[in-house]
Structure 1
Amino acid sequence: MNLMMTLMLATMIPMILIIFNHLAPKTNPDMEKLSPYECGFSPLENARLPLSIQFFLIAIFFLLFDLEIALLLPIPWALNISMTTTTWMLLLILLLTLGLAYEWNQGALDWTK
């Protein structure tokens, strides 16, 4: 019975969504909606305009801390294996904290320059 209900739901939900899509009113897009959007930069201007280094710095910080989360997420499940995992986790957190403190001390995070 569970398999039958699952198959029914798996076919009914997409069918309902298709019906809603056809019943929804059509939109009339204007030129602004049809123009490409390039992260806040106009794609019709000169492509050689200089960009702010802070934009790239924030992107690098995001990647570093995203990587930190990806590496530290399985740590609670791995803690019962060995003490080496805890040591690597603490070393990674310490290294990232020291790097963040260095960047902060150098003024790279100051947006008002």
Structure 2
Amino acid sequence: MMLLYASFPLLVGSMLFFLYLMINWQSDMTNSEKGSAFECGFDPMCTPRKPFSLRFFMLIILFLIFDVEIVLLFPVLTLMKVSLYASISSALLFFLMILLLGLLYEWYMGALDWK
């Protein structure tokens, strides 16, 4: 137990030290030209606008939505392992059907096609 009490300040101190190193390393990498305002007659170091793929954005949004829904299924699956109630099974089946319908709709609308 005493080792735990002694290691906690060491762990917090090392975390603060590495945080200090990261902040100092980042301040050395900054460039004054990149931080200045864009005005007429100013030559930027890079182009101000970069091309953006809307299909990639839609794919990422769909991934986030379905990923969060899958994470929501984990507690239900552990609950089903403990008890097998028909209401939990029917709610899980309904939730999975909504997920499948959403996936089929996005597939039908062409959001998953990469052309």
Q: Which residue of 2 aligns with 1:90?
A: 93
Gaps of 5+ in 2: 38-46
Alpha-carbon distance in structure 1 between the residues aligned to 2:105 and 2:23: 56
Q: Which residue of 1 aligns with 2:42?
A: none
Alpha-carbon distance in structure 1 between the residues aligned to 2:72 and 2:23: 44
Q: CA deviation at 1:56?
A: 5.6
- Which structure is higher in helix share? 2
* TM-score normalized with structure 1 length: 0.56
Alpha-carbon distance in structure 2 between the residues aligned to 1:53 and 1:7: 47
Correspondence for 1:103 among 96, 106, 113: 106
Greater relative contact order structure (CA < 8 Å, 6+ sep): 2
Q: Percent identity?
A: 30
- Count matched residues: 101
CA RMSD of aligned residues (A): 3.9
Quick check: 2:59–2:111 contact (8 Å CA) kept in 1? no
- 1:8 match: secondary structure: helix
Deviates more, 1:84-93 or 1:2-11: 2-11
1:1-113 → structure 2 map (5 Å cutoff): 1-14=2-15, 16-17=17-18, 20=21, 27-30=28-31, 31-32=33-34, 34=35, 42=48, 54=55, 57-79=58-80, 80-81=82-83, 82-112=85-115
CA deviations 1:8-48 (Å, max 9, x no partner) are 3244314543675698696253224x379xxxx947xxxxx
Gaps of 5+ in 1: 44-50
Matched to 2:86, the amino acid is: M
